[in-house]
Amino acid sequence: YFNPHSVKFGTIKEGDVSGKSFKRLHRFRYSPTAWYGHNEVHLHPWKKRRLSVREALRLQTVPDDYVISEGISLSAKFKVIGNGVPCKLAHSLAESILKFINSSRSKHQKAKQAPGAIKSRQSA
């Protein structure tokens, strides 16, 4: 599946993600989910080749200075990428969770500072 000379690399049109294994990206659309551990290969939008490890990392919004160990196989690298969560998504999710936690703490602190308000609510 990672053979750079596969005949299929030239037969799949840009943006065709309907195949089970080979999915050619479109230069102006979102990428399909990176599911590389299941014989899935994302192809370059217009070149007859699969994506490089670095290009796949970029799809996952991993910074360019991040390095995957050279000691693991190519298929293992793609599996690591496919098992990951895009960095920007994880960051946004973490910020939302932190905002919620801080908001809950703030409400809890206000409730502690106004015990009469809590008592009147409880007695109602």
**116, pLDDT greater than 70:** no
Domain range enclosing 102 = 85-124
Q: State whether 14 and 59 are in the same domain.
A: yes
Specify the pLDDT at position 40.
Answer: 81
Who wins on pLDDT, 110 or 16? 16
Question: Which pLDDT score is estimated for 25?
Answer: 92
Asked whether 21 and 1 are in contact (CB, 8 A), the reply is yes
Residues 89 and 123 in one domain: yes
Q: How far apart are CA 2 and CA 23, in angstroms?
A: 13
pLDDT at 26: 94
pTM tops 0.85, yes or no: no
64 and 105 part of one domain: no
Claim to verify: residue 33 and residue 75 sit in the same structural domain: yes
Is 28 found in the same domain as 75?
yes
Same domain? For 121 and 61 the reply is no
At 1 the pLDDT is 43
Average pLDDT over residues 8-31: 89
